[in-house]
Amino acid sequence: MQVTVNDEPKDTASRTLEGLLRELGVADQAAVAAAVDGQVVPRSRWSERALSEGSSVIVIRAAQGG
């Protein structure tokens, strides 16, 4: 299935947001937020949020700095 992650096409076998974020290596990072098709998905719902062909996913990682 193909989805878009931060405006880049991505092929994935994952059917959930959590699975995709695991593929990307960010699921266990503390300062990560995600949205699917314009809707922010709370971390507690990542495993429930289904992805479909063409879903648009935005992944934001907080960075510390000054």
Q: What predicted TM-score, i.e. pTM, was given to this entire model?
A: 0.91
Evaluated on CA atoms 45, 29, 58, 60, the torsion sign reads: positive
Please report whether residue 66 resides in a domain: no
Dmax of the chain from CA atoms? 39
Q: Residue 28's domain spans which residues?
A: 2-61
pLDDT tens-place string over residues 28-58: 998 999 999 999 999 999 999 999 999 999 9
Query: Residue 9: which CATH number?
Result: 3.10.20.30
Which phi and psi angles does 45 have, rounded to 5°? -110, 0
Quote the number of domains for the chain. 1
pLDDT (average), residues 20-26: 97
